[in-house]
C-alpha cells in the first residue's frame, strides 16, 4: 500500500491566489482528516469526513477555506484567496473508525 | 477551557537511559489516548493507543500509562537510542468520534 498521498509537496504562491491541496486516502479507510501545522499553534484539525460526508468543520479558520470529498479516494482543501498567514504545512490523514490515523507527507504552503 | 499540555522544552538524555514524556490534559474525558512520533519534514506516525480502562500498554521498548484520575499519560522509551530522537505528540479523542486533539509535542534528543 502506498499510504496516504498528498500533492503538491510544496506550493509557493502569491497573496490573493487560489490554492488547491489534494489527498488520496488509504484504500478502505472511511475517515479522512485535514490538519494544519505551524510552530505557533501546533497540529490543528481543520475538518474531517466520515464516509465522504463532512462531520466537523469547526476548525476551518474562515470562509476562505473549503474542503470537499467527492468520492472515497479523493479529497481537496481549497484556500481562496490565500493570505501570508495561511503559510503552514497541511497534512491529510485517514483511518478506519476510532483507530490510529495514517498521515500523508504533507504539503508545505508558502504564501508571499 | 480544554487544554492538552506536553513538556514544551526539549528533553535531552544519554543513550541507554529511559526517556519519560508527559501529557497532561484538563476538561477532557477521553475514551482513549494516542502517541505519535514526528520526524522533521514528515507526517506524524502512530505508535501506541491506550484506552481509558487500560492502565498500561507496551510495545517493544515503548510503554504508555494512562491515569484518568490524574488526567495524565506518561510515555516511556527504555534503552533509548539516537534513532529515537524526534518529536512525540500525544492526542486525545474528542467525544469518541475518531476526531483527535493533539498536544504541541515534546522534542526528544538522545545523545550517543
What single-letter DSSP state applies at residue A15? T
- CB-CB neighbors (< 8 A) of B34 in chain A: 100-101
In whole angstroms, give the CA distance from residue B96 to residue B46.
18
Check residue A28 and give left, alpha or beta (phi > 0: left; psi -120 to 50: alpha). left
DSSP A25: P
* pLDDT given at position B22: 96
> A75 touching B, CB under 8 A?
no
Angle at A35 between CA A32 and CA A38, to 5 degrees: 165
3-class SS of residue B94? coil
- For B5, name the nearest residue in chain A, comparing CA atoms only: A42
Contact criterion met (CB < 8 Å) for B98 and A56: no
- pLDDT tens for each residue of chain A, 112 residues long: 689 999 999 999 999 999 999 999 999 999 999 999 999 999 999 999 999 999 999 999 889 999 999 999 999 999 999 999 999 999 999 999 778 999 999 999 999 9
Beta carbons of B13 and B110 less than 8 angstroms apart: yes
Contacts of B44 in chain A (CB under 8 A): 43, 91, 101, 103
All three cell numbers of B85, joined, read: 530522537
DSSP symbol at A64: T
Contacts with B53 (C-beta within 8 Å, 6 or more apart), sequence order? none
Look at residues A102, A91, A79, A86 and name the one whose alpha carbon lies nearest to residue B41.
Answer: A91
pLDDT category of residue B27 using cuts at 50, 70 and 90: confident
Compute CA B17 distance to the chain's CA centroid, rounded to the nearest angstrom: 17
Task: Determine the Cα–Cα distance for residues A66 and A79; give it in Å rounded to an integer.
Answer: 7
Please report the residues numbered 52 through 111 in chain B whose beta carbons come closer than 8 angstroms to any beta carbon of chain A: 89, 93, 96-105
Phi, psi of A81 (to 5 degrees): -85, 150
Residues B75, B90 contacting (CB under 8 angstroms): yes
How far is it, in rounded angstroms, from Cα B57 to Cα B66?
9
Q: What is the pLDDT of residue A1?
A: 66
Task: Please write the tens of the pLDDT for every residue from B69-110.
Answer: 999 999 999 999 999 999 999 999 877 677 899 999 999 999
Nearest-neighbour CA in chain A from B39: distance (Å): 11
Do B3 and B100 meet the contact criterion of CB atoms below 8 Å apart?
Answer: no
Write the CB contacts of B78 (distance below 8 Å, at least 6 apart in sequence): B18, B61, B63
Q: What is the pLDDT of residue B88?
A: 98
Amino acid at each position: 500500500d502506498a499510504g496516504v498521498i498528498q500533492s503538491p509537496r510544496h506550493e509557493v504562491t502569491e497573496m490573493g491566489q487560489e490554492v488547491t491541496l489534494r489527498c488520496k486516502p488509504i484504500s478502505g479507510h472511511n475517515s479522512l482528516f485535514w490538519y494544519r501545522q505551524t510552530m505557533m499553534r501546533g497540529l490543528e484539525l481543520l475538518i474531517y469526513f466520515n464516509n465522504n460526508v463532512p462531520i466537523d468543520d469547526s476548525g476551518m479558520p474562515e470562509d476562505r477555506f473549503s474542503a470537499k470529498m467527492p468520492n472515497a479516494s479523493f479529497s481537496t482543501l481549497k484556500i481562496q484567496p490565500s493570505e501570508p498567514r495561511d503559510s503552514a504545512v497541511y497534512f491529510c490523514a485517514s483511518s478506519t473508525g476510532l483507530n490510529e490515523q495514517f498521515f500523508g507527507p504533507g504539503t508545505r504552503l508558502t504564501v508571499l | 477551557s480544554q487544554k492538552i499540555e506536553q513538556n514544551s522544552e526539549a528533553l535531552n538524555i544519554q543513550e541507554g537511559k529511559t526517556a519519560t514524556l508527559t501529557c497532561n490534559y484538563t476538561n477532557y474525558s477521553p475514551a482513549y489516548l494516542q502517541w505519535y512520533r514526528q520526524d522533521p519534514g514528515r507526517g506524524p506516525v502512530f505508535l501506541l493507543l491506550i484506552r481509558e480502562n487500560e492502565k498500561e500498554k507496551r510495545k517493544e521498548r515503548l510503554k504508555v500509562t494512562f491515569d484518568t484520575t490524574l488526567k495524565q499519560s506518561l510515555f516511556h522509551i527504555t534503552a533509548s537510542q539516537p534513532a529515537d530522537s524526534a518529536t512525540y505528540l500525544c492526542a486525545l479523542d474528542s467525544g469518541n468520534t475518531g476526531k483527535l486533539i493533539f498536544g504541541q509535542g515534546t522534542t526528544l534528543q538522545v545523545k550517543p
